[in-house]
């Protein structure tokens, strides 16, 4: 029994859909769950925590005294025999010494390391905010991939209707075979694009797993559709908030404090350190034991080639730290302006698509389809307008996602760690 041309094409299309894996998508994926998981399991965040923990242990080391020294030995008179107890100069000797830094040096050394730790802690906050922003951007890209597949499926169903219409017109002798092939080609091209986005979903899921610190497993699921929320702050307000809240600014301030401490430490090196030494001399026989106490200081004699260049180096490092802070402030301001520009541009384009282009092109598609049904226009007109409508719908959701990603980046720049779910400081 021979099947009709329509039945054959429908069967081939169904088999292609099956082979390309148009399975039902996995369960819904929530952004809040992903951000919390990232803050707990991200390898970068865990490595940063370990780095901070290691740095904290350097603080007591820097504040500690140098290790004491213990010396012991024997002194003998002559080389021909052991003269201990027989000669006055023969004796066992024991001594202990302890070096003391000039007052203030130990506290400055500890302060230098402590400022480095505080800088690392601020950068750790920044890393958390950037990790959250990265997860959000990947999440929105994943949502967009699923949304594009939805749009392709919707338009593919539209092309199925067009195919049915062209087959009916072709059977009635009102359309040429080329129109049937054209409708079928467009349908399969959408199927091809759909499969390409499915591959993109796999790539995005792999990157998202890496960002949240999850090993390979089942599909993550389909992201929830983001809800449009107005974003009220202006760029000037955001810059002020960023300059007061930004962990990067706080880290740079700590670096400046550390550089200032290093300068004061370099200036302290003009002053000498000293050592106290106590010795005991054990002698036997009629000779009394002896003891001694001495103090030793170092003389900064070569300050022109040692201490003075060290002070100049510390001053240059302090100036560099201040200049880097100014550069960071300018970069933050520029990044805020850039993301606000993207955000407002996306909002304007979204308004243009939803209130002008998409409704207008939807009407054009309906009108063209009606005219084609009545034989007053060509199929190419219907297909062209339908593809234009698809393009505008895709562009709308692209702008929607770009807006959400810009907001995520702005939040990473302007928010404090306490505002991040699961990111409160302990």
pLDDT score recorded for residue 426: 37
Range with lowest mean pLDDT among 27-36, 47-56, 311-320: 27-36
Residues 359 and 299 in one domain: no
User: Do 295 and 367 reside in the same domain of the chain?
Assistant: no
Q: To 10 degrees, what angle do helices 235-245 and 379-414 make? A: 40
Does residue 380 lie within any of the structural domains? Answer: yes
* Residue 236 tokens, joined: 């000037």
Q: H helices of 279-356, where?
A: 307-352
- Do 243 and 189 lie in a common domain? yes
d(CA 306, CA 312) in angstroms, rounded, equals: 10
Same domain, 255 and 367: yes
User: What's this model's pTM, rounded to 2 decimal places?
Assistant: 0.78
- Predicted pLDDT at 120: 92
DSSP state letter for 374: T
Mean pLDDT of the 54-64 span: 93
Note the pLDDT tens digit of each residue in 217-235. 777 888 988 888 887 777 8
39 and 51 belong to one structural domain: yes
Of 165, 103, 124, 131, the C-alpha closest to 42 is: 131
In a domain, 426, yes or no: no
Q: Which residues pair with 296 in a beta bridge?
A: 275
Q: What is the pLDDT of residues 265-313, one digit of tens each?
A: 999 999 999 999 999 999 888 888 899 999 999 999 888 899 899 999 9
Does 262 share its domain with 279? Answer: no
Q: Of 23-27, 171-175, 207-211, which range is least confident?
A: 23-27
CA distance 9 to 202: 30
Q: Which span out of 6-20, 87-101, 373-387 was modeled with the highest average pLDDT?
A: 87-101
Is residue 3 in a domain?
Answer: no
Residues in CB range of 376: below 8 A, 6 or more apart: none
Do 138 and 74 share a domain, yes or no? Answer: no
The candidate with the shortest Cα–Cα distance to 158, out of 377, 369, 414, is 369
For the residues of 181-228, what is the DSSP string, one character each?
A: HHHHHHHHHHHHHHHHHHHHHHHHHHHHHHHHT--S-S---EEPPPPP
Residue 254 to residue 111: CA distance in whole angstroms: 11
Residue 14 domain flag: no
Strands 91-100 and 69-75: antiparallel
CA–chain centroid gap for 112, Å, is: 27
Expressed as residue numbers, the domain containing 294 is 66-100+271-305
Residues in the chain: 426
> Torsion over CA of 123, 124, 127 and 133, rounded to 10 degrees?
-110
Question: Could you read off the pLDDT of 357-404 as tens digits, one per residue?
Answer: 999 998 888 888 888 777 777 878 888 888 888 889 999 999 999 999
Domain CATH for 58: 1.20.1600.10
User: Do both 371 and 412 map to the same domain?
Assistant: yes
């Amino acid at each position: 029994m021979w099947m009709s041309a329509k039945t054959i094409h429908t069967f081939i299309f169904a088999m292609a859909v099956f082979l390309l894996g148009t399975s039902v998508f996995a369960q819904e994926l929530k952004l809040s769950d992903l951000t919390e998981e990232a803050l707990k399991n991200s390898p970068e965040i865990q490595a940063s925590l370990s780095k901070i923990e290691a740095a904290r242990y350097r603080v007591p080391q820097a504040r500690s005294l140098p290790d004491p020294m213990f010396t012991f030995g024997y002194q003998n008179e002559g080389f021909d025999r052991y003269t201990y107890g027989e000669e006055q100069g023969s004796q066992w000797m024991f001594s202990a010494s302890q070096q003391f830094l000039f007052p203030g040096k130990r506290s400055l050394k500890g302060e230098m390391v402590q400022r480095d730790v505080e800088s690392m802690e601020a950068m750790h906050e920044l890393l958390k905010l950037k990790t959250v922003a990265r997860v959000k951007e990947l999440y929105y890209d994943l949502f967009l991939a699923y949304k594009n597949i939805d749009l392709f499926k919707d338009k593919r169903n539209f092309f199925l209707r067009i195919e049915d219409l062209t087959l009916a017109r072709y059977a009635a002798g009102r359309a040429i075979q080329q129109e049937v092939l054209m409708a079928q080609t467009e349908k399969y091209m959408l199927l091809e694009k759909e499969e390409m986005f499915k591959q993109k979903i796999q790539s995005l899921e792999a990157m998202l797993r890496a960002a949240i610190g999850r090993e390979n497993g089942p599909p993550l699921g389909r992201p929830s559709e983001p809800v449009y929320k107005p974003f009220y702050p202006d760029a000037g307000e955001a810059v002020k908030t960023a300059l007061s809240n930004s962990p990067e600014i706080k880290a740079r301030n700590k670096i400046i404090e550390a550089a200032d401490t290093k300068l004061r430490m370099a200036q302290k090196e003009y002053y000498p350190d000293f050592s106290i030494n106590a010795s005991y001399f054990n002698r036997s026989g009629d000779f009394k034991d002896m003891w001694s106490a001495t103090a030793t200081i170092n003389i900064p004699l070569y300050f022109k080639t040692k201490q003075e260049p060290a002070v100049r180096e510390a001053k240059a490092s302090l100036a560099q730290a201040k200049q880097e802070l100014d550069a960071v402030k300018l970069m933050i301001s520029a990044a805020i302006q850039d993301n606000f520009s993207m955000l407002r541009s996306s909002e304007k384009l979204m308004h243009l698509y939803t209130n002008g282009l998409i409704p207008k092109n939807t009407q054009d598609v309906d009108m063209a389809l009606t005219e084609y049904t009545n034989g007053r226009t060509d199929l190419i007109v219907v297909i062209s307008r339908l593809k234009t409508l698809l393009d505008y719908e895709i562009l709308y959701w692209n702008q929607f996602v770009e807006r959400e990603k810009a907001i995520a980046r702005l939040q990473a720049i302007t928010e404090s760690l306490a505002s991040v779910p699961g990111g409160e400081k302990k």
